[in-house]
Amino acid sequence: MGRLDARIAVVTGGASGIGRATVERFLAEGATVESWDIAASPAVPLPAEVVYRQIDVTDEDTVKAGFAAVVEANGRVDCVVHAAGIASGGPVNMLETAEWDRVININLKGTFLVDKYAAIAMLEQEPLFGVDGAQRGSIVNLASVEGLIGTEGGSAYNASKGGVVILTKNLAIDYGRRGIRVNAICPGFIDTPLLSGVFGMPGMEEVMKDIASSHQLGRLGRAEEIASVALFLCSDDASFVTGVALPVDGGYTAGHRHGISELLGLA
């Protein structure tokens, strides 16, 4: 038996990266999965069982229609993992206002819209799952360690992800008594096309080495490692977990190294 048998799941940003890994993991665990992305079609085809929808998470009518279609086709929606987002920013004196607006619009407004219509759908359905049978659904938002701590040049991205963290906590408060759990995952730096698009340009090699070494495990994360945590948060194993902004970051937010471990022979 899979951990998500008979559950209906929607994953945004599901064409690549963390979203794609989550789609594949949820499918393997028995869920009926819809993958949403802004692309007309995934660059790499998804498994045939996955329903793919072209959804712009900043367009309210499109998001609303997407959830209506899921409920019409399946009767309910049990799990929503919102992984759609972009990475952009810069020091504010160098950042165009239009770019600030674009990042906040996609990362924060997009989270608001997806969560809004997920909550509306879940509130209208009967509770089925959980150890007490009283859960209507689980929403997982992808935030970032950069929504918990500052990073140089982060500005718009960090602000957007910090907003996702506190929005998640508010949703957990608002809907917990109605059987809807809402949590956020705060990944460290994950080896995905999104990361490559930011740090893959010439001259960034040393920056990437420093970023990798800033994780106490000494490496970047993998998309499937984040998907595993999304699976946990949507499963009955997390039936008493809500309102959490969970760092999954290889120790990035644990603190700093200053060479003492090397002196002690622990490096």
The pLDDT of residue 262: 81
190-240 tens-digit pLDDT: 988 777 777 767 777 888 888 888 999 999 999 999 999 999 999 999 999
Domains of the chain: 8-250 (3.40.50.720)
Is the predicted pLDDT of residue 60 greater than 80, yes or no? yes
Q: According to the model, what pLDDT value does residue 207 have?
A: 82
Distance separating alpha carbons of residues 262 and 267, to the nearest angstrom: 5
Distance of alpha carbon 16 from alpha carbon 19, whole angstroms: 6
Q: Using N-to-C axis directions, what is the helix angle for 17-28 and 223-234, rounded to 10°? A: 50
Q: Give the residue, 127 or 108, on which the prediction is more confident.
A: 108
What whole-number distance in Å separates Cα of residue 167 and Cα of residue 243? 9
Is 157 catalytic? The answer is yes
Q: What percent of the chain has pLDDT over 90?
A: 80
22: which 2 tokens?
Answer: 């989550």
Residue 117, classified by CB atoms within 10 Å of its CB into exposed (0-12), middle (13-18) or buried (19+), is buried
Cβ(216)–Cβ(250) below 8 Å = yes
Residue 133 phi, psi (nearest 5) = 65, 20
pLDDT at position 122:
97
Burial per residue of 175-214, b for 16 or more beta-carbon CB atoms within 10 angstroms, e otherwise: beeebbbbbbbbbbbbebebbeebeeeeeeeeebeebbeb
pLDDT range class, residue 134, cuts 50, 70, 90: confident
Tell me which of 5 and 152 has the higher pLDDT: 5
Q: Is the pLDDT of residue 149 over 70?
A: yes
Average pLDDT over residues 250-257: 92
H/E run at residue 98: helix 97-104
Q: What is residue 225's predicted lDDT score, i.e. its pLDDT?
A: 98
Ranking 122-126, 179-183, 258-262 by mean pLDDT, the lowest is: 258-262
Write down how long the chain is.
267
What confidence score (pLDDT) does residue 131 get?
67
Cα angle, residue 236 at apex, residues 175 and 72 outer, rounded to 5°: 65
As given in the structure block, the two tokens for residue 250 are 């290889």
Q: Which residue has the higher pLDDT, 83 or 207?
A: 83
Residue 139 pLDDT > 90: yes
- How many Å apart are CA 132 and CA 242, to the nearest integer? 15
**Eight-state DSSP code of residue 45:** P
Q: What is the average per-residue pLDDT within 35-43?
A: 95
- The predicted model scores a pTM of 0.94
* Catalytic entry in 117, 157, 175, 252: 157
Contact 84, 78 (CB under 8 A): no
* Burial per residue of 90-104, b for 16 or more beta-carbon CB atoms within 10 angstroms, e otherwise: beeeebeeeebeebb
Q: How far apart are CA 172 and CA 77, in angstroms?
A: 17
Q: Identify the pLDDT of residue 264.
A: 79
Spatial distance between the Cα atoms of 213 and 257, rounded to a whole number of angstroms? 9
Distance CA 118, CA 37 (A): 16
Sign of CA dihedral 67, 68, 73, 75: positive
In the predicted model, what is the mean pLDDT of residues 64-74?
98
Which pLDDT value is given to residue 265?
Answer: 85
The residue assigned the tokens 């408060």 is 173
